[in-house]
Amino acid sequence: MTTARDLSLSNSKKVRGRKAYPNKILVGKEEFEIQFKRVIFDDEKYLGICDLEDNVIYLKKGQDPYELFKTLLHEYLHAIEKSDKIKIKHSLIYRLEKALANFLIQNFETLQKIIK
């Protein structure tokens, strides 16, 4: 089984001269690849897509860091639907992405202390 340590920044890639981002993420016991694309499925409107069949999360390049984080959380929630065999209404996923992003960002230092 892959652990969080296995998915460190050693498995990362640069995005247009920016810092390195991990190219894999764990969702439960499943590993999802992260791919950055200029356009996702030939449609400019998509910021991200979670391919549940191939375990790939596609994220649109060029998002500001906060939007990218929210998009990753949004697609992660879709991946949770697969790993935990649950259905989450899409309207709830939109609400949770912002709430979780704010919670994780605003409490980052506290959370680090808790899990150490």
DSSP letters for 52-67:
TTTTEEEEETT--HHH
The 8-class DSSP code of residue 43 comes to: B
Total-model pTM: 0.80
Query: Is the pLDDT score of 110 beyond 50?
Result: yes
Give CA separation, 51 vs 10, 33, 54, 107, in Å.
24, 10, 6, 30
Provide the mean pLDDT of the chain: 86
Q: pLDDT grade, residue 16 (50/70/90)?
A: low
Q: Provide the angle, in degrees to the nearest 10, between the axes of the packed helices 90-106 and 65-83.
A: 120
Domains of the chain: 5-115 (3.30.2010)
